[in-house]
Amino acid sequence: MTAIERQALEALRDPPTFSLNIDEDLEDFNFGDVLDGTDTLPISNAGGEFGDLARGVLGKLPTGQLLVSDHYLSHNFVDQFAWDSLHTTGDNTKKAWGIYDETGIFVAVCRHGFCLLITDMVQSGELAKYPLAIVAKLLDAFGGGLGGGYDIGCQFRTTPDNSSLGPLVCSLCHTCLVGAFHGHVHKRLCQLFSLTTYIKGLGIEDLETCERTFSKSNALASALQYTSVFHHQQAIDSYFEHNNEFEVYGNLSNFLHGNYKQALKILENSKFVLPKVMQDLRIKDESIFERWLEDEKAYLKDLMQEPEEETIQMEYWQRLVNLSASSVALDVAMNSFTPSQHNTLPYSADLANTRKAKTTHCHALEDYERNLRALQTHSATIRSTLNTYNKLASAVYPPWQILKWEEVVDAMDLYFKMCRAHEEICHLNVKVCCLVTYIHDEDKYLRVSIHTPWP
């Protein structure tokens, strides 16, 4: 390992609130990071024309320099994780990305907002090699027990396992997660396994830090579009270095304080709301929420086809739609077939139109009667199913309560948010001490450095 690589790894381990899990009784991630890319910081190929012109006037420009940075990953390191299957991009997409040399950046940010790693996306979108390279470097720096949030974390979950990182990822127990904002538009089964609300040890973190980071860094785009690769990387690295030192670090105490207040508020609200909800649902033990979560996971994983009752309900709804459409068509046909004005032409005067209207009327009437018969059949089936369930529910002592799906999900979310708030308090009790220690150590270091003579 070179001296630069050692310096980079030490810098990664340096965030003031970083600490390994020191409580064996607390299920926790040793470190949480968020991955994402943005395509708002590109370098246009047109910049080469300006470069050629400048070389003709000024001579050779120093644009072949390599950036020495604690955060940037080199292209050679990233390309180690390129797959042949990832180069099947369509011709139109290749042409679109071909306009730019660097199409954007892919970053890893910790939950507090410190930028950990950066890599350029070169003439492509968010290929899998970028998050794979970042995961490899983070595992090298921090070791096991990492949890990484990614907006397609559920899809990316199997990618490291099938890559050259597979054995390392499995041995170090790396976990792919989905941010709270993106996770709610994913499938329910994906939410149960990856959404932040249901992940033990994550606290109240939403894993959407990259979105907030990009909302500020995107302001660099207009100034960097025609720069060289070196100056492009230099400007981005300088920005994130400044952001880490003066904005994220300066706001760190407020961040921890805000999370503490938010966690306490969740616990305060759940202390009054959750018991009432449990009473309304006749739930005596909170452990049932954990069991419901596992049961729902098992049910959705084993669900190979739609349940018969839901299928009948959907067919019933479709029959209602068809019946309504047939009824409208029948009314139109009746009005067009039945003369409503005294000055209507005689029957024999427009025989073709009359026959056409009569045919339309007959077809609409047939469709209406067919849909009505089907609707009556499905109505009888649904009524029979509901009556059977109600009879069985009332025969049990004490009688079963009919639960609505929305009530169950709301109660589960309330319980798991309370669990995450408890975890957040435990995390913050450690991280606040880490920050205070870091501040004292920094002050001591500066005082010693003042009185230490330069060599």
Segment-wise mean pLDDT, segments of 10 residues, the chain, 455 residues: 52 53 45 62 50 44 67 87 54 48 80 89 77 89 83 78 85 84 72 84 86 86 80 89 91 93 93 87 85 84 69 77 80 66 54 67 68 55 53 63 66 90 92 90 87 77
Residue 373, in any domain of the structure: yes
| CB under 8 A, 24+ apart: contacts of 73-77 | 73/117, 73/118, 73/119, 73/133, 73/134, 73/137, 75/120, 75/122, 77/133, 77/137
**Residue 150, pLDDT score:** 83
The span from the CA of 375 to the CA of 368, in Å, is 10
Nearest alpha-carbon partner for 101 in 52, 37, 39, 35 = 39
Predicted local confidence at residue 324, as pLDDT: 82
Are 337 and 205 contained in the same domain? no
The gap between the terminal CA atoms of the chain, to the nearest Å, is: 27
pLDDT at 28: 54
Q: Show contacts of 254-262: CB within 8 Å, 24+ apart.
A: 255/112, 255/113, 256/17, 256/428, 256/431, 256/432, 256/435, 259/203, 259/204, 259/424, 259/428, 260/424, 260/425, 260/428, 260/432, 262/204, 262/421, 262/424
User: Per the domain annotation, does 24 fall within a domain?
Assistant: yes
Residues 233 and 328 in one domain: no
Distance, in Å, from the CA atom of 349 to the CA atom of 359, rounded to the nearest integer, reads 18
Q: How far is CA 337 from the centre of its chain?
A: 57
The pLDDT value recorded for residue 48 is: 46
Task: List the structure tokens of 43.
Answer: 């370098």
Same domain, 240 and 322: no
d(CA 105, CA 122): 9
Q: Has residue 31 been placed in a domain?
A: yes
Residues 223 and 339 in one domain: no
Give the number of other CB atoms < 10 A from CB of residue 373. 11
Residues with Cβ within 8 Å of 406's Cβ and at least 6 positions away in sequence, in order, are none
* Domain end residue (candidates: 250, 267, 283): 250
Contact 135, 70 (CB under 8 A): no
**Domain termination residue (choose one: 374, 395, 416):** 395
Instruction: Give, in degrees to the nearest 5, the angle at Cα 246 between 243 and 247.
Output: 60
**Within this chain, do residues 327 and 200 fall inside the same structural domain, yes or no?**
no
Measured between alpha carbons, how far is 256 from 19 in angstroms, rounded to an integer? 15
Could you tell me the residue range of the domain that residue 312 belongs to?
308-395
The contacts of residue 401 (CB under 8 Å, 6+ apart) are: 281, 282
* pLDDT score at 266: 93
Give the per-residue pLDDT at 86. Answer: 46
Please report, to the nearest 10 degrees, the dihedral formed by the alpha carbons of residues 265, 268, 270, 271 taken in order. 170
88 and 176 both lie in a single domain: yes
CATH of the domain at 343: 1.10.287
- In this structure, the answer to whether residues 352 and 220 fall within a common structural domain is no
The dihedral through the CA atoms of 9, 12, 14, 17 has a sign that is negative
CB-based contacts of 343, cutoff 8 Å, min separation 6: none
Is the Cα torsion angle 420, 426, 432, 438 positive or negative in sign? negative
Query: Do residue 159 and residue 22 come from a single domain?
Result: yes
Locus of tokens 């025989």: 351
In a shared domain, residues 134 and 222: yes
Residue 32 belongs to some domain of the structure: yes
- Structural domain contains residue 258: no
Domain end (from 209, 226, 250):
250
Residue 241: exposed, middle, or buried by beta-carbon count in 10 A (0-12, 13-18, 19+)? middle
Which residues, 6+ apart, have CB-to-CB distance to 328 below 8 Å? Answer: none
Question: Is residue 383 in some structural domain?
Answer: yes
The number of domains in the chain is 2
Q: Are 109 and 62 in contact (CB under 8 A)?
A: no
Distance (Å, whole) CA 103 – CA 44:
8
Same domain, 53 and 136: yes
CA nearest neighbour of 177 among 130, 209, 213: 209
Give me the pLDDT at residue 304, please. 59
Q: Based on the domain organization, do 200 and 116 belong to the same domain?
A: yes
Assigned domain for 216 exists: yes
- Report how far apart, in Å, the C-alpha atoms of 137 and of each of 12, 20, 110 are: 10, 17, 14
95/9 same-domain check: yes
Question: Residue 297: inside a domain, yes or no?
Answer: no
What is the reported pLDDT for 419? 93
